[in-house]
Amino acid sequence: MTQLPDDNTLAQTGLSPTGSSGRILLLACGALAREILDLIKLNSWSHMDLTCLPAIFHIHPEKITPAVREAVAKHRDAYDDIFVVYADCGTGGLLQQACDELGVQMVSGPHCYSFFEGNDRFAEISEDEFTAFYLTDFLVRQFDAFIIKPMGLDRHPELRDMYFGNYEKLVYQAQTDDPALTEKAKDCADRLGLAFERRFTGYGDMAKALETL
């Protein structure tokens, strides 16, 4: 399995940060690395570099804000601009506050499920989907590492109903049209005892945000 960059190291875009005019650093969640690199390649955004914080912060949101502060301080002098590719992601507004203080922008929305769906669309449907459990391409690939093992379901499968008894369906927000990932997502739903729904979202509002740069 391909390992995604998630450790504060610059992704290999073929360019090195020089501080030259117009260079932008994308400071992102490691869970978004594959999608961001695809967008950079697809759009020939040669003025952008990517560095990622650990994807495991997805389940440790208290670590996101201090890590973003540290990374911005580390890279600020090498770039004309830094864009934080996180939504609020469970920080309770602290990340937005930090970005405002640091003078950098970030992706709008409460979390990645919202901006992949489209924030406006997600707001419309959220009241009807409070019993939905969401997975992205990344979380389907890393289902055991990010869902099963952290919840202890590999050791205590009997806890499944306690964790997921109030959910009704698993919604797979597909960023790519990959039949193998869809089959794996169906298996994830079966393992959790949930109905399955697939939605092709593409890159949603994240792509729109990066396009403005």
In a domain, 76, yes or no: yes
Q: Are residues 126 and 63 in the same domain?
A: no
133 within a domain of the structure (yes/no): yes
Determine the average pLDDT of the residues in 80-97: 98
| Domain endpoint, select from 72, 87, 107 | 107
Residue 1 pLDDT: 30
- Are 121 and 98 contained in the same domain? no
Same domain (yes/no): 172, 125: yes
> Average of pLDDT values for 18-28?
80
The domain boundary residue, chosen from 90, 107, 124:
107
Same-domain check for residues 94 and 122:
no
Per-residue pLDDT for 75 more than 70?
yes
- Tell whether 67 and 35 lie within a shared domain: yes
SS3 85: strand
Report the chain's mean pLDDT, rounded to a whole number: 92
Residues 43 and 88 both lie in one domain: yes
Tell me the per-residue pLDDT of 151-201, one tens digit each, with 9 for 90 and over: 999 999 999 999 999 999 999 999 999 999 999 999 999 999 999 999 999
pLDDT of residue 57: 96
Residue 10 lies in a domain: no
35-45 tens-digit pLDDT: 999 999 999 99
Question: 155 lies in a domain?
Answer: yes
Residue 154 counted as domain residue = yes
- The verdict on 133 and 99 lying in the same domain is no
My answer on whether 74 and 125 are in the same domain is no
Could you tell me where the DSSP H helices lie in the chain?
Answer: 33-43, 64-75, 94-102, 112-117, 119-125, 137-141, 143, 160-164, 179-192, 204-211
- Statement to judge: residues 138 and 92 lie in one domain: no
Q: Where among 83, 107, 131 does a domain terminate?
A: 107
Is the pLDDT assigned to residue 17 strictly greater than 80? Answer: no
> Mean pLDDT throughout 111-121?
97
| 120 and 196 assigned to the same domain | yes
- Would residue 138 count as lying in a domain? yes
Nearest-10 Cα torsion for 18, 24, 30, 33: -100
Pair (95, 144) in one structural domain: no
Percent of the chain surpassing pLDDT 90: 88
Residue 6 has pLDDT above 60, yes or no: no
Quick check: is 164 in a domain?
yes
Write out the DSSP string of 36-63: HHHHHHHHT-TTEEEEEE-GGGGG-GGG
Same domain, yes or no, for 100 and 126? no
| Token pair of 61 as six digits | 């949101």
Q: What is the pLDDT of residue 124?
A: 95
Q: Is 67 part of a structural domain of the chain? A: yes
The strand pairing partners of 25, in sequence order, are 49, 82
CA–CA distance, 59 with 146 (Å, rounded to integer): 8
Containing structural domain, residue 63: 24-107
Counting the structural domains of the chain, the total is: 2
Residue 55, domain CATH: 3.40.50
Is 151 within 8 Å of 188 (Cβ atoms)? no
